[in-house]
Amino acid sequence: MTKKQKKVLVRIIVAAVLLIILHFVPLEGIWLGLLYLIPYAVIGYDILRKAVLGIMHGEVFDENFLMAVATVGAMGLGEYSEGVAVMLFYQIGELFQAVAVGKSRQNISALMDIRPDYANIEAEDGSLEQVDPDDVEIGTVIVVRPGEKVPIDGVVVEGTSTLNTSALTGESVPREITVDQDVISGCVNLTGLLKIRTTKEFGESTVSKILDLVENSSMKKSKSENFITKFARYYTPAVCYSALALAILPPVINLIMGNPAVWSTWIIRALTFLVISCPCALVISIPLSFFGGIGAASACGILVKGSNYLEALSETKYVVFDKTGTLTKGVFDVTGIYPGRDFTEDELLEYAAYAESYSSHPISKSLKISYGKELEASNVSDVEEISGHGVTAKVNGKQVAAGNAKLMKSLNLAYTENTGVGTVVHVAVDGKYAGYILISDVIKDGAKEAIASLKNSGVKKCVMLTGDSKTVAEHVAGELKLDEVHSELLPADKVSCVEKLLQDKSEKEKLAFVGDGINDAPVLSRADIGIAMGALGSDAAIEAADVVLMDDNPAKIALAMRISRKCLRIVYENIVFALAVKAICLILGALGIANMWVAIFADVGVMVLAVLNAIRCLRIKNN
């Protein structure tokens, strides 16, 4: 509890003790009323003060005004214990709500505990000085010891270690890091000491951007939140005027008909009506539900920029994917080695890797990575790159040619036609065809299961848009069982495809586009929901999308939708429950069947139950 909450708890205990004592005091009339003013003042002075300030500022109709009128009226009519009890239980409910909100904020803060407190800068004598991360300039070398958070984005200049990125990505597997690799703020250094040269100011670092997104997500309200805000604006004045009418009209009608007016009976009913009508349960629990949902998503490495986007995720029926980097790894891997006669797979790969050893082309890199051994520079000579064809070189004294079919034709060599999907590197050794190596962009692990999960979640159509060739695109689409694929597209063509899909769907159905957030900014902004995937450390992705997935796991899309639907289900449960209970109790209160104690349940009890239900949004199974 906070200091303020502890003070409220003390006031509640004091008022409750005084209320119990006064129940046994043998006094009546005005003297008993004066004694009851003591616990009433202890527990209710702040509510009365807020009600008066609200009236002075023209904001009359709120829960403070309702409680003030109801309890002061009850005290004035001699219902002393009921008046104090209503204020007491209202304060208990408010304290419970404050503690619950604080607890959920603490949970989210713990889950997103990535804000660094300091940065270490090495002094001339070798000692470490702790400084505020805001004061560290770009290009400064900072030291991160084992167990400390990386405070600012940068590049490792010394040391090797493993980093825990779970606070950012929701994944528990540590990430290996070494010299010349980029490091983002918010990760925890687990093993070795690292020296990092900063590449950004703290305010522009990943950790600052993420925290800003989470903290400001409440600025973008969902339709449900906007509905409750508007509802409360009209609902509260309506029930106040209804209570006034209930207090005046029946007695006046009785007088006209020649019956006793019974003013006190109808005024008590009107005051009970006011207590029942307080909209706290809705006003508090619904924003808390969305706040909990956004926090739970953040813990899973899913950043949602507002409750409006969280709500839209639950209505998503069309999901459109970019291919490279989203459904595939976006890096070339050797997927097949096909040696010719008199050559083994190892020999073929070795010749190709050495021939391509001086090239920085992605295909050359994939050959060297697949070979996996140290390449001795002395084994290679006479390297010649032939533009648009490939490369020739002497490897261990043998003439090696590695490249495409054009290179083999120029050497007048018969070669094997490839039937697979991907880029082919043909290899010839001393004028003899040695075979070919197939290199392709690999489908991400779990991508197939992610598409199946989306369809099981009620998504009508999964579509892939890519600038890649038709053969490659159709192969990937077939592997993943996608409903539709469009290939060989320019960025403008992707926007056109999304436009057509938007026109074909109904207004209530939402379309989400999933891309890397860098090359797909126009499409991300055009879709109903833009989802940037694999955005760890990518400023462009964080800026462009409405929802940011901090790792490369496509299964997070279905998880985000599941979080959204659970959150919306809880919101609707609270709305229906609160309105139903209040409607029943309001009717009973108007008829004189429900007394002040029923009113307390209808207000405080409903609020407590709704808040407890809302807290469930924080608990999401990440599987």
Residues with catalytic function = 322
Side-by-side strand order, sheet with 182-183: 128-131, 119-122, 141-144, 194-198, 154-158, 182-183
**128, containing H or E segment:** strand 128-131
Cα(111)–Cα(291) distance, integer angstroms? 13
Q: How many CB atoms lie within 10 A of CB 463?
A: 19
Integer Cα distance of 501 and 478 in angstroms: 21
| Residue 372 to residue 325: CA distance in whole angstroms | 24
Closest of 65, 76, 19, 75 to residue 42, by C-alpha = 19
CA distance 177 to 389: 36
Pick from 367, 368, 399, 365: nearest CA to 382: 399
**Greatest Cα pair distance in the chain:** 123
Per DSSP, helices labelled H in 147-200 are 166-169
The CA distance from 390 to 387, in Å, is 7
**Which one, of 447, 411, 448, 444, lies nearest residue 427 by Cα?**
411
434: phi then psi, degrees, rounded to nearest 5: -105, -10
Work out whether strand 175-177 and strand 194-198 pair parallel, antiparallel, or are unpaired: unpaired
CA atoms within 13 A on the CB side of 166: 11
Q: What 3-state DSSP class applies to 388? A: coil
Instruction: Name the 3-class secondary structure at 21.
Output: helix
Task: Supply the angle between the helices 29-56 and 3-23 in degrees, to the nearest 10.
Answer: 150
CA distance 282 to 337: 64
DSSP letter string, 245-289: HHHHHHHHHHHHTTS---HHHHHHHHHHHHHHH--HHHHHHHHHH
Q: Which amino acid is at 389?
A: H
Residue 68 near residue 51 (C-beta atoms within 8 A): yes
326: left (phi over 0), alpha (psi -120 to 50) or beta: alpha
Place of tokens 């890091």: 177
Tokens for 180? 């010349």
- Residue for token digits 């055009």? 526
